Amino acid sequence: MQDIDRLNQQFSLAEAVRFEMGPNGLIMIEITTPSASAKISLYGAQVLSYKPTHKEEFFYLSEQSVYGDAKAIRGGVPICWPWFGDDPSGQGRPAHGFARNQVWTVVDTHQKDTGEVAVKLQLTANAHSRQFWHCDFHLEMDIIVGASLTLRLTTTNTDKESFTISQALHSYFQIGDINNTQVRGFDNHHYLDKTLDFTEKLQQGNIRFVTETDRIYLHAPTYCFLEDSSLNRKLLIRSAGSQTTVVWNPWQKAISLADMANDDYQRFVCIETANAADDSVTLSPGESHQLVAEYLIQD
Ligand SMILES: O=P(O)(O)OC[C@H]1O[C@@H](O)[C@H](O)[C@@H](O)[C@@H]1O
């Protein structure tokens, strides 16, 4: 159990970093820098908020989110790890793995000369993870808050055997209106359509949302744009260590999601920097892999 007083003693930074009690006793890191503020939940190492100074919030966070209770918080940037989507072994283990449902450990906080704040969180094999996955691992999440938000998830194989993972930084971007939103950058890219049993299709033009959208873009570009004319905002999403991008909006299926209002599908789009489908990652003992996403406003 990580005590708030101890965390504040060890890792708070003057005006920039402090630890607070969030809903249901979950510990949150509140970050303030000259160029942005952010909130991170230790449960899931999940960024829940990032707001550049004088600009709109980047992320959607459902008002009906469940905090803790082995559920993922619905919004911000959940981490899907060590598998993306349904249990690849078909044994009914939790969708999107277990990292989003575990309390992570704080390893470091510091402020750079530029004013950016960097937070490092860690997860290693434990009794809970072993219920679902027998491997030994070291997982590190670096979160860098400044004029942009950078997330870097480093997986190191500390086991005696190789293992294979899939994963995603499952960012829920807040938008003004789904009807005035498009994603640019995937023209002429193939994708697997999860709503049609993973049928492969070709994207023509920008992605627009008119129905349930659940796609894994293959050989994905290293950057794309989320254009939202209601908020008059263009976000740039840069990725590294990833060859797949997942684009998801549940549309009317939001009704079946207990932790989301029925019409909330109009207010977010998920664009997920991933290693999914054939883009899984195999690591030998001692090897590491980094999955990186950076989000910023494009003027
Ligand atoms: O409800 P969950 O487990 O957080 O998953 C939400 C969605 O996450 C997306 O990444 C998947 O492509 C969807 O198929 C899934 O429905």
Beta-carbon contacts of 86 under 8 Å, excluding residues fewer than 6 positions away, are 95
Other Cβ atoms within 10 Å of 221 Cβ, number = 16
Positions annotated as catalytic residues are 170, 272
**Residue with CA nearest ligand 1 atom 1:** 257
Please report, in tens digits, the pLDDT of each residue of the chain (299 residues total).
469 999 999 999 999 999 999 999 999 999 999 999 999 999 999 999 999 999 999 999 999 999 998 999 999 999 999 999 999 999 999 999 999 999 999 999 999 999 999 999 999 999 999 999 999 999 999 999 999 999 999 999 999 999 999 999 999 999 999 999 999 999 999 999 999 999 999 999 999 999 999 999 999 999 999 999 999 999 999 999 999 999 999 999 999 999 999 999 999 999 999 999 999 999 999 999 999 999 999 97
3-state secondary structure of 129: helix
- For the question of whether the overall pTM of this predicted structure is more than 0.90, the answer is yes
- Give the separation between CA 200 and CA 177, rounded to whole angstroms: 28
State the distance from the centre of ligand 1 to the C-alpha of 11, rounded, in angstroms.
33
State the distance from the centre of ligand 1 to the C-alpha of 270, rounded, in angstroms.
9
| 204, two tokens | 């023509």
> Domains along the chain?
4-297 (2.70.98.10)
Q: Are 146 and 167 in contact (CB under 8 A)?
A: no
What is the residue whose two structure tokens read 């159990």?
1
- Give the separation between CA 247 and CA 226, rounded to whole angstroms: 11
The per-residue pLDDT for 14 is 95
- Give the separation between CA 112 and CA 264, rounded to whole angstroms: 37
DSSP string across 230-289: TTTEEEEEEEES-SEEEEEE-GGGGGG-TTS-TTGGGGEEEEEEEE-TT--EEE-TT-EE
**What ipTM was predicted for this assembly?**
0.99
The per-residue pLDDT for 299 is 79
82 upstream amide cis, omega within 30 of 0: yes
The per-residue pLDDT for 2 is 62
Q: Quick one: which atom of ligand 1 is closest to the CA of 78?
A: 4
**HSE-up of residue 158 (Cα within 13 Å, Cβ side):** 11
Protein residues whose CB sits closer than 6 Å to any atom of ligand 1 = 72, 85, 95-96, 170, 194, 214, 246, 248, 272
Q: Best substitution site from 64, 169, 170 to test ligand 1's pocket, by max atoms within 8 Å of Cβ? A: 170
